[in-house]
Structure 1
Amino acid sequence: MSKKIVVIGAGPGGLTAAMLLAHKGYDVHVYEKQPYIGGRTSHIQLGDYRFDLGPTFLNMAYLAEEIFEVTGRNIHDYIELMHLDPMYELVFRDKKIKMTRDVEEMIRQINRVFPGNEQGFQRYLVKNQKKLQTLAPLLQSDMTGYRSLLKPEAFKALPELEIGKSLMDTLSTFFKDEKLQLAFTFQSKYLGMSPWESPGAFSILSYIEHAYGVYHIKGGLNQLTKAMAKVAEEEGATITTNCGVKKMVIEGKTVKGVELDNGEFVAADDVVVNGDFSTVMTKLVEPGILKKYAAEKLEQKPYSCSAVLLYLGVSKQFDLPHHTIWFAEDYRKNVEEITQSFELSEDPSIYIQNATVTDPTLAPDGKSTLYILAPVPNNFSNIDWEKHREEYRDMLISMVSEKLGIDDLTPYIEQEHMITPADFEHKHHVYKGAIFNLGHQLRQMMAFRPNNQFEELDHCYLVGGGTHPGSGLPIIIESARISTNLILKRDKQTPYDVKPLPSYEPFTENALSGKEDQIAAIKPLSIIAGIR
Structure 2
Amino acid sequence: MSTPAPTPRPEPEHFHPRRKTALIIGSGIGGLSLGIRLQSLGFNTTILERLDVPGGRAYQRRAGGYVFDMGPTVITVPQLIEELFALQRDHGRLSAPDFPPDESREHTEKYVKLVPILPFYRIYFDDGTFFDYDGDPQHTREQIGELAPEDLSGYDLFLRDAGAIFQRGFLELGYTHFGDLGTMLKAVPDLMKLDAVRTLFSFTQKYFQNPKMQQVFSFETLLIGGNPLSVPAIYAMIHFVEKTWGVHYAMGGTGALVRGMVQKFEELGGVIEYGAGVEQILTAKEGRRQVAQGVRLEGGDERRADIVVSNGDWANTYLKRVDKKARRINSDTRIKFAPQSMSLLVIYFGFRDDPANPLTLRHHNIILGPRYEALLREIFGKKVLGRDFSQYLHVPTLTDPELAPAGHHAAYTLVPVPNNASGIDWAVQGPRLVDRVIGMLDDRDYIPNLRNRLTHIDYVTPDYFEDTLDSHLGNAFGPEPVLAQSAFLRPHNRSEDVTHLYLVGAGAQPGAGTPSVMMSAKMTARLIAQDFGIHPDIAD
TM-score clears 0.5? yes
CA contact 1:248–1:258 (8 Å) conserved in 2? yes
Task: Give the match's secondary structure for 1:313.
Answer: strand
**What is the CA distance between 1:361 and its match in structure 2?**
1.2
Distance 2:202 2:537 in 1: 37
Aligned residue in 2 for 1:227: 260
Distance 1:482 1:406 in 2: 43
Aligned residue in 2 for 1:79: 112
**What is the CA distance between 1:287 and its match in structure 2?**
2.9
Aligned residue in 2 for 1:455: 496
Alignment-mate amino acid for residue 471 of structure 2: V
**What is the CA distance between 1:148 and its match in structure 2?**
2.6
% identical aligned pairs: 29
CA contact 2:60–2:255 (8 Å) conserved in 1? yes
Distance 2:192 2:139 in 1: 34
Aligned residue in 1 for 2:403: 362
Distance 1:387 1:485 in 2: 46
**What is the CA distance between 1:161 and its match in structure 2?**
5.8
**What is the CA distance between 1:292 and its match in structure 2?**
2.4
Distance 1:244 1:74 in 2: 32
Distance 1:112 1:467 in 2: 41
CA contact 1:138–1:157 (8 Å) conserved in 2? no
Aligned partner (choices 20, 24, 27) of residue 3 of structure 1: 20
Task: Give the match's secondary structure for 2:173.
Answer: helix
Aligned residue in 2 for 1:122: 156
- Unmatched segments (≥5 aa) in structure 1: 499-532
Say whether 1:178 aligns with 2:211: yes
Say whether 1:140 aligns with 2:157: no
**CA 208–395 in structure 1, closer or farther in 2 if over 3 Å, else same:** same
**CA 434–497 in structure 1, closer or farther in 2 if over 3 Å, else same:** farther
Aligned residue in 1 for 2:340: 303
CA contact 2:25–2:48 (8 Å) conserved in 1? yes
Residue pairs, 1:393-408, within 5 angstroms = 393-404=434-445, 408=449
CA contact 2:441–2:448 (8 Å) conserved in 1? no
Task: Give the match's secondary structure for 1:493.
Answer: coil
Aligned partner (choices 468, 482, 485) of residue 441 of structure 1: 482
Aligned residue in 2 for 1:190: 223
Distance 1:436 1:453 in 2: 20
Aligned residue in 2 for 1:523: none
Distance 2:149 2:429 in 1: 42
Say whether 1:379 aligns with 2:420: yes
How well do the aligned residues superpose, as a CA RMSD in angstroms?
1.8
* TM-score (norm: length of structure 1): 0.90
Instruction: Tell me whether 194-203 or 17-26 shows the greater mean CA deviation.
Output: 194-203
Aligned residue in 2 for 1:333: 374
Aligned residue in 1 for 2:328: 291
Alignment-mate amino acid for residue 175 of structure 2: Q
Distance 1:223 1:448 in 2: 34
CA contact 1:246–1:258 (8 Å) conserved in 2? yes
Residue pairs, 1:122-521, within 5 angstroms = 122-136=156-170, 137-151=172-186, 153=187, 155-160=189-194, 162-163=196-197, 165-252=198-285, 253-316=290-353, 318-404=359-445, 408-496=449-537
Aligned partner (choices 10, 35, 50) of residue 18 of structure 1: 35
Distance 1:380 1:150 in 2: 33
Alignment-mate amino acid for residue 421 of structure 2: F
Deviations 1:457-488 (A, max 9, x none): 11011101111111111101101101101111
**What is the CA distance between 1:296 and its match in structure 2?**
3.9
- Unmatched segments (≥5 aa) in structure 2: 1-17, 92-105
Distance 1:445 1:242 in 2: 33
Deviations 1:214-234 (A, max 9, x none): 111101011112111111111
Aligned partner (choices 21, 34, 48) of residue 51 of structure 2: 34
**What is the CA distance between 1:269 and its match in structure 2?**
0.6
Alignment-mate amino acid for residue 412 of structure 1: R
Task: Give the match's secondary structure for 1:293.
Answer: coil
Aligned residue in 1 for 2:3: none
* TM-score (norm: length of structure 2): 0.88
Task: Give the match's secondary structure for 1:266.
Answer: strand
Distance 2:367 2:60 in 1: 24
CA contact 1:350–1:372 (8 Å) conserved in 2? yes
**CA 119–62 in structure 1, closer or farther in 2 if over 3 Å, else same:** farther
Alignment-mate amino acid for residue 383 of structure 2: F
Distance 1:387 1:296 in 2: 31
Task: Give the match's secondary structure for 2:57.
Answer: coil
